[in-house]
């Protein structure tokens, strides 16, 4: 079967029309408008956002026919136009990704390293007649998919839901060729049938299925179901729901005799009011969604009234993972320092691949904003207790194979679980270079080894006992919203002694909102050096740089909301000259809605 033969039919007139509809006209240096391709079979070019909202973002559910993104996994029996209609809306490589990233900067040493790595990749293992499926290969899952491809496997992308809100969380530098894409129908009334349909599509592919891996948090549940149904290496179904549902997670840990947070899951305020009676003073409680990530809608409350406000704000709202919150979780406030333990397991043998200490602070009206993190190792009794506690949580939730990303609060009376995900540490994997330098390996390396190389897995130490280097990841926090004129702080960061790499998700001309969670931060920087004091000094310099007037951003306008949003303009069939008309609409600050008159 020639690679991509079932998924890449010749370009037709319809595809060329849709390609034209997604052309953006951007001003060049000499003031002349220049079209750039954002989609299609032509070489992909990154396109400045310029207010353009991708069609994928505007769709909340598929309609029959046009927006269906299910791929046939065998040679098409339907007309070519039907297959092409499906292919157009979701290419083998995500066409929207370039519209959400604007600039990446790395040190010269890292550029040299990437060049050397590119040469090594050319000599990678030959293709095997086996395949590995990655469910939602977004964020660090994209790195995981790329690592699997490097081992010579055919890589299959499974999308667990339509229009995933985390689909654009992929570093620009990551490259992975997916041999097939399967869209699971998460909206079907009969989910058992939907699961069997996804399994049938997997079985129809011409390679032996070696493993199914979760890429992002949204893919954990489906990966569990598929591995169990296909009898592949996985974690079983017993605690599958508890590995996603934060309430069930805490109760499973408590049932195993491990310290767990005091909590209540409620769908009615009256349940919460009764739970809070006799709450200890001083009053402190946490309210958050049952299933989300990135500190999305996590509230620290100092009174029952604040708890009620937070509960009503969360209940019924769509969370950061695109799911509708049914109720909310109310928990005791855990006072202490927060750590991350990134582990990997194989047949119940648990190994800690990294320990990170979070820098979380209250800012912009939000109480749990990520400012950064630094790598740690087992350098004393506190870290030993933390690692032992993490192992007990992994056992309680039967995470016997693959990665685990755990957040734990270390308090005066010992560690207590915040939450854990049965997948790799997220954050788009920007932490990987720091982990590689400080430990000599990453959680992605360990995950691949746990499934495909038991010898390599055995070679990793059970826990890190020393650091080879010192590093920090800096998450930029915007405390003054407005429209960016320039970003003078970028060069200052690049000139710092411990600078390793930098990714900015905004550019001059963009509106930046105040940072309140992982989804609203404008970028991140990675620092590395052999001297811990140099890293600490640069970290504080970057913290000062991001303050209002500090120099990271020069704002042409300080405002709470984007003043350029003027509402929507609908263009019906934006083909031919209509594509230029659509581009002019975007250029003038309107939101563009494209309506296709025919299927």
Angstrom distance (rounded) from CA 7 to CA 11: 12
Per-10-residue mean pLDDT, the chain, length 599 = 34 35 36 32 33 31 32 39 43 34 43 58 66 94 94 94 73 77 94 97 96 95 96 94 92 97 93 93 90 70 94 81 80 95 98 97 90 97 97 98 98 95 93 97 98 97 97 97 95 97 92 90 95 98 96 93 80 90 83 85
Q: Is 178 exposed, middle or buried (0-12, 13-18, 19+ CB in 10 A)?
A: buried
pLDDT at residue 598, as a whole number: 87
pLDDT at residue 594, as a whole number: 86
Angstrom distance (rounded) from CA 311 to CA 299: 9
The distance from CA 140 to its chain's CA centroid, rounded to whole angstroms, is 7
Angstrom distance (rounded) from CA 195 to CA 184: 7
Q: In what order do the strands lie in the sheet with 299-301?
A: 263-266, 328-332, 285-288, 299-301
- Helix or strand or coil: residue 142? helix
Which among 357, 348, 423 is positioned nearest to 391, based on CA atoms?
Answer: 348
Q: In what order do the strands lie in the sheet with 523-529?
A: 103-106, 499-504, 523-529, 470-475, 366-376, 349-363, 337-346, 402-411, 414-421
Q: Are strands 154-159 and 130-135 parallel, antiparallel or unpaired?
A: parallel
Farthest CA pair distance, the chain = 69
pLDDT at residue 340, as a whole number: 98
- Helix or strand or coil: residue 301? strand
Angstrom distance (rounded) from CA 400 to CA 345: 6
Sequence-ordered strand ranges (E) for 249-308:
263-266, 285-288, 299-301
Sequence-ordered strand ranges (E) for 440-522:
470-475, 482-486, 499-504, 511-512
Domains of the chain: 1-63+565-599 (no CATH), 101-229 (3.40.50.20), 234-259+334-468 (3.30.470.20), 262-331 (3.30.1490), 469-560 (3.90.1170)
Strand partners, 394: none
- DSSP code per residue over 351-392: EEEEEEEEEEEEETTEEEEEEEEEEE---SHHHHHHHHHHHH
């Amino acid at each position: 079967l020639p690679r991509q033969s079932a998924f890449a039919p010749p370009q037709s007139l319809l595809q060329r029309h849709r390609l034209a509809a997604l052309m953006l006209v951007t001003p060049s240096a000499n003031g002349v408008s220049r079209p750039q391709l954002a989609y299609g079979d032509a070489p992909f070019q990154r396109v400045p956002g310029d207010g353009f909202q991708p069609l994928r973002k505007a769709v909340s559910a598929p309609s029959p026919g046009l927006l269906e993104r299910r791929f046939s996994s065998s040679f098409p029996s339907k007309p070519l136009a039907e297959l092409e209609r499906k292919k157009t809306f979701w290419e083998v490589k995500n066409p929207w990704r370039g519209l959400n990233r604007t600039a990446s900067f790395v040190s010269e040493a890292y550029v040299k390293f990437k060049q050397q790595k590119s040469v090594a990749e050319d000599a990678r293992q030959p293709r095997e007649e086996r395949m590995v499926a990655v469910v939602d290969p977004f964020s660090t899952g994209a790195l995981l998919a790329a690592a699997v491809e490097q081992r010579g496997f055919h890589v299959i992308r499974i999308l667990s839901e339509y229009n995933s809100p985390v689909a654009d969380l992929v570093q620009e530098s990551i490259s992975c060729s997916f041999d097939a894409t399967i869209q699971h129908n998460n909206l079907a009334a009969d989910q058992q049938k939907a699961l069997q349909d996804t399994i049938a599509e997997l079985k129809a592919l011409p390679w032996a299925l070696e493993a199914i891996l979760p890429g992002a948090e949204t893919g954990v549940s489906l990966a569990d179901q598929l591995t169990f149904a296909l009898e592949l290496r996985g974690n079983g179904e017993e605690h599958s729901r508890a590995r996603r549902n934060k309430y069930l997670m805490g109760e499973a840990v408590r049932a195993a005799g491990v310290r767990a947070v005091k909590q209540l899951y409620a769908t009615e305020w009256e349940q919460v009011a009764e739970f809070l009676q006799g709450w200890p003073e001083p009053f402190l409680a946490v309210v958050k969604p049952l299933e989300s990530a990135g500190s999305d809608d996590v509230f620290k409350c100092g009174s029952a009234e604040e708890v009620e406000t937070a509960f009503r704000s969360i209940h019924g709202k769509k969370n950061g993972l695109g799911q509708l919150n049914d109720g909310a979780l109310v928990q005791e406030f855990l006072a202490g320092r927060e750590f991350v333990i990134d582990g990997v397991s194989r047949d119940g043998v648990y190994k800690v691949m990294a320990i990170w200490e979070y820098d979380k602070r209250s800012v912009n009206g939000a109480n749990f904003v990520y400012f950064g993190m630094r790598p740690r190792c087992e350098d004393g009794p506190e870290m030993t207790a933390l690692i032992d506690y993490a192992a007990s949580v992994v056992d309680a939730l039967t995470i016997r194979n693959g990665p685990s990303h755990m957040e734990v609060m270390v308090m005066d009376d010992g560690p207590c679980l915040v939450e854990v995900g049965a997948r790799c540490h997220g954050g788009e994997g920007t932490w990987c270079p720091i982990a590689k330098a400080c430990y000599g390996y990453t959680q992605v390396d360990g995950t691949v080894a746990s499934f495909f190389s038991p010898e390599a897995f055995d070679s990793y130490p059970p826990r890190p006992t020393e650091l080879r280097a010192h590093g920090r990841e800096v998450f930029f926090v915007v405390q003054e919203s407005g429209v960016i004129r320039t970003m003078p702080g970028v060069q200052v960061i690049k000139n710092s002694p411990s600078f390793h790499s930098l990714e900015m998700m905004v550019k001059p001309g963009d509106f930046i909102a105040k940072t309140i969670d992982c989804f609203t931060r404008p970028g991140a920087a990675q620092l590395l050096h052999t001297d811990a004091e140099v890293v600490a000094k640069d970290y504080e310099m970057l913290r000062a740089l991001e303050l209002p007037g500090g120099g990271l951003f020069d704002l042409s306008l300080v405002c709470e909301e984007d003043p350029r949003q003027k509402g929507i303009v609908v263009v019906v069939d934006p083909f031919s000259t209509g594509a230029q008309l659509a581009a002019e609409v975007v250029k003038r600050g309107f939101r563009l809605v494209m309506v296709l008159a025919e299927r």
